[in-house]
Amino acid sequence: MANKKTLCFTCNKEKTTHSCKGCLKYFCLLDLVQHRQKLNEELCYVINDYDQFKQRIDERKQDPQKHSLIKQINLWEIKSIEIIQQKAQEYREILMKSSETCINQIEMKLNNLNEQIKQFQKEKEFNEININHLSNQLIEITKEFNDPSSVSIQQNSRSLINEISIILSKKPKFNKWKQNAITVAGGNGLGQEFSQLNYPKGIFIDEMKNIFIVDYFNHRIVEWEYNARQGQIIAGENGQGNRIDQLNYPTDVIVDQQTHSIIIADQGNGRVIQWLNQKQKVLIENIDCFGLAIDKYGFLYASNGVKNEVRRWKMGEYSKEIVVAGGNGKGNRLNQLNHPTYIFVDEDQCVYVSDQNNHRVIKWGKDAKEGRIVAGGNGQGKNLNQLSLPHGVIVDDLGQIYVTDSHNHRIMRWCEGKEEGEIVVGGNGKGNQSNQLNLPSGLSFDDEGNLYVPDYLNHRIQKFEVIP
């Protein structure tokens, strides 16, 4: 440290000072001592953090069983043993019942054989033929008892339990997309021609890359086949109305690829309706539905913007329903929602809800009493830790959450547990250029990872191609 008279950084007085090589500031001798004490305290904090972490490492080395995944393996072992024990008991009961029936039948045959023997003994009229006949009957009954042909054990190659494996994965790949999109539907101005859209909202991409679009102000669902120049109406071609063959401001559509039917959130008519081969069926009535989802177990989910909840139904059993998110009135607590829009359901039946007026995405685990914020939740805004009236939501296999940040005109990606997200596409201000969006609504991916966005005020569907 070099001595010279200058202003002390701490007391702001002109004194003989000494420079600190770390922060490059000048301190008088008294303040330098205090500065060094502060540095010593900070070093102590680092040492303390080191000691605590080293203790955790030593504990893990001493007891490897404390690994969090060991608990999962132990639970899998217990559950698997329970399944095997249940099956074994089930088969024992089946075998004992079958054996009881077999014994009863054999006893009947033995009784009949005994009657024949008594008859021969009483009449004393029998010969070699009669003896051989009785002996053969006894041999057959004995063989049936020793080797019952009606019962056997068959080995099945199908696994009785759910097998698990340890995957030592590399760092997950975070996809990126070209920032200039291709218009794949609409983009020919507002209108109702087959080449036009009128404020598109929800979207669904099937396995053939056909695009199913909620054409909101045209009160119809249109399908644009892959690389087509115009769409075709597949629901709502009879104009706005409440007849069974009409729609009224629909908001979302999903395709049940098992039945090849489409299910529509017909919000203006307060119903969820199914269209199959131009035949219609109302599935759920009196619901202010906005977003829809189907899980792999055959359950249908719908968000309700008036009751601020998400409900679930077993497909085909629409009289039975349960609330799986919200349902505790409008609010911003973790057990409440404020105008939920689109929803997504993962493999574990966790429900992700775009909680629009709370400017957040909230995740509800199966049978949970409250949710957990996984995106936004820091008030309305355009910072990377904020959302503004979110709409579409999708979660990929890595647990990455994609959100249509509607009023910020961008698509965001959030990793659960992170304090802020990142801009995937858009975010260049509202506009109609290929790198801009104007109040985007839903979102969807095809099987190659390309991103599709309904560009609401530009009346078009934008495709952002994934970068290989």
As given in the structure block, the two tokens for residue 5 are 């008279």
The strand pair at 351-355 and 309-314 is best described as unpaired
Q: Copy the structure tokens of residue 208.
A: 């053939």
User: In the Cβ-directed half-sphere of 314, how many Cα atoms lie within 13 Å?
Assistant: 3
* Type of residue numbered 453: V
Q: pLDDT tens for the chain, 468 residues: list them.
A: 445 688 988 899 888 888 888 888 888 989 989 998 988 988 888 888 888 888 878 877 887 777 767 877 888 888 888 888 888 888 888 878 878 888 888 888 888 888 888 887 877 777 887 888 888 888 888 887 787 666 667 666 556 677 766 665 555 567 899 999 999 999 999 999 999 999 999 999 998 899 999 999 999 999 999 989 999 999 999 999 999 999 999 999 999 877 778 999 999 999 999 998 889 999 999 999 999 999 988 899 999 999 999 999 998 888 889 999 999 999 999 999 999 999 999 989 999 999 999 999 999 999 899 999 999 999 999 999 999 999 999 999 888 999 999 999 999 999 877 889 999 999 999 999 999 999 999 999 998 999 999 999 999 999 999 998
Extract the tokens encoding 106.
């054999």
Confidence (pLDDT) at 1: 44
- Torsion, CA 354, CA 357, CA 362, CA 366, rounded to 10: -80
State the DSSP string of 4-73: EEEE-TTT--EEEEEE-TTT--EEEHHHHHHHHHHHHHHHHHHHHHHHHHHHHHHHHHH-GGGSHHHHHH
Answer yes or no: are the C-beta atoms of 431 and 446 closer than 8 Å: no
Q: Is 457 helix (H, G, I), strand (E, B) or coil?
A: helix
Task: Tell me how far apart the alpha carbons of residues 214 and 206 are, in angstroms, rounded to a whole number.
Answer: 14
Q: Is 445 exposed, middle or buried (0-12, 13-18, 19+ CB in 10 A)?
A: middle
pLDDT in tens, 214-263: 999 999 999 999 989 999 999 999 999 999 999 999 999 999 877 778 99
Q: 3-class DSSP state for residue 298?
A: coil
Strand order in the sheet with 299-304: 289-294, 299-304, 309-314, 317-326
Question: Whole-prediction pTM value?
Answer: 0.65
**What type of residue is 405?**
D
Domain with CATH 2.120.10.30 in the chain: 182-464
Identify each DSSP E strand in 125-217 by its residue range.
182-186, 200-205, 211-215
How much is the pLDDT for 205? 94
User: Tens digits of per-residue pLDDT, 380-393?
Assistant: 999 999 999 999 99
Residues 6 or more apart whose CB falls under 8 angstroms from that of 57 comprise none
CATH of domain 182-464: 2.120.10.30
